[in-house]
A and B are shown apart, each in its own frame.
Chain A
Amino acid sequence: MATIKVIELIGDGSLLASDKGIRLYNAIRDQLKAGHKVEVDFTGYEYLSSTFLNHSLGQITIDFGMDPKKFSERIDVVGLNEDDISDAQLSVQNADHRRRLLEKGIDPQTYYSTHVSY
């Protein structure tokens, strides 16, 4: 198993902006493409945003055709506190939903625009 230490990768305990998420996405993608199972270790982080999670774990979920079960089979996420674990799970679930829409030929934005009330 390959381990990605997020803080070492990003160089900062503040995991908020989208392009930091993309850097993590790239690192996970490279390991998955090499056929490795990946441990993503968040130990030592200070701040974590849904933007960061969506651009990293969420986008991996979409691009590698995973559902939450397949995600957990190939990626171990460790070092998150309890509340942020929920956010990470939500990011994967939402990405899985988006992926399934795309596979059905449904534009997610069109779907959300017609299924969200105001």
Chain B
Amino acid sequence: MSWELERYSISSASFTQLAILGERLLTCTSDRFESNAKFLRPYCIAYLDQTLRNHQTGLSFSSRNPEVNSYLAQCGFSFLPHSTVSSNVIRSGKIIRLEHFSGDSSKAETHVIDWIQDTIVPCIPRLAADLRRKIVKNFWEIVNNGLEHGEGNTGVSCCGQFYPRKGYFEAAFSDYGVGIPSRVRAFLKEGSIPDEHCINWAVAEGNSTKSREESAGLGLHLLRKFLTLNRGSLQIASGSGFLENSADCREFKPLQETFSGTLVNIRIIYDNNLYTLQKRTDYGNH
């Protein structure tokens, strides 16, 4: 039995396996890596893109399963060996192709905003204009956190997919920076906080509203509230910490393997509701 999962789901076990896969890629001395994966999700592809960008000598990645290779190709995954690229298999649903942001966050702002408006917003249920602006801003903050605080050289990789039959949309954001736990521990000057507690602290309301210099939070409070109402979910993996936030649970736990940087995955249910911003922190749907 291979160490690798064949199908990656939205679970801490799958995130752990992805971290293990990333570590194996980084230490791989060959120029080609072949995976057993039969099903990858956007968060896997965003993380693989970042991992391979950080590989010292250059490494190609493919799967023994041609459908996965076709999916990777459709996602714009640039680390496929040329021999495996096939466009014969058409995957259902709408793919949000890999997008890579790098460099100064201010210079990237227009690019990021345009991408969010053009590719992410159409996959989200109807939002009133004021709420839409704030949700767009929250997505920008996810990317900006990776660019400004990630301190990595390989920017932020984003990927997503709309699953029409399942009625939801997933978007993932990966950077290879120092990660949330390091930033939070430095901010709190408390070196012993477990990674998962650091992530939980970073998403808590109020922990990102202080002056910029003092903040180590993520500022995703409104997006989390929206996801709760929408019955979507948010997963964050960084270091050996994992947080899952949904309407039914807010769970943070340690992973068995360490993630490089930060990986954020968001699932939004595509329903027929119109979401509105009622007042400062309360949101309603009609």
Contact = CB atoms under 8 A, between A and B. Distances in A.
B211 A116 contact: no
Interface stretch (B44-52, B76-84, B192-200): B192-200
Interface string A80-108: 01010010001000110010000000001
A19 interface: yes
Contact of B110 (A14, A90, A116): A14
B109 A17 contact: yes
Contacts of B119: none
A30 interface: no
Contacts, number: 84
A3 B210 CA distance: 28
B282 to A, nearest CB: 11
Given A47-B137, A118-B198, A118-B201, A94 B210 contact: yes
B219 interface: yes
A113 B211 contact: no
B211 A58 contact: yes
Contacts of A20: 106, 109
Interface string B84-114: 0000000000000000000011100110010
Contacts of B104: 19
Nearest to A86: B280
Interface in A8-38: 12, 14, 16-20
B208 interface: yes
B166 interface: no
A16 B137 contact: yes
B144 A16 contact: yes
Given A47-B136, A113-B187, A118-B201, A98 B207 contact: no
Nearest to B206: A116
Contact of A108 (B106, B136, B214, B277): B214
4 A-B pairs closest in CB distance: A17-B106, A118-B201, A113-B189, A19-B106
18 contacts: A14-B113, A16-B113, A16-B140, A18-B105, A19-B106, A46-B133, A47-B133, A49-B137, A51-B144, A54-B211, A86-B280, A94-B210, A109-B189, A109-B213, A113-B188, A113-B189, A118-B188, A118-B198
Interface of B: 104-106, 109-110, 113, 130, 133-134, 136-137, 140-141, 144, 148, 184, 187-190, 193, 197-198, 200-201, 207-214, 219, 277, 279-280
Interface of A: 12, 14, 16-20, 46-51, 54-55, 58, 81, 83, 86, 90, 94-95, 98, 108-110, 112-114, 116, 118
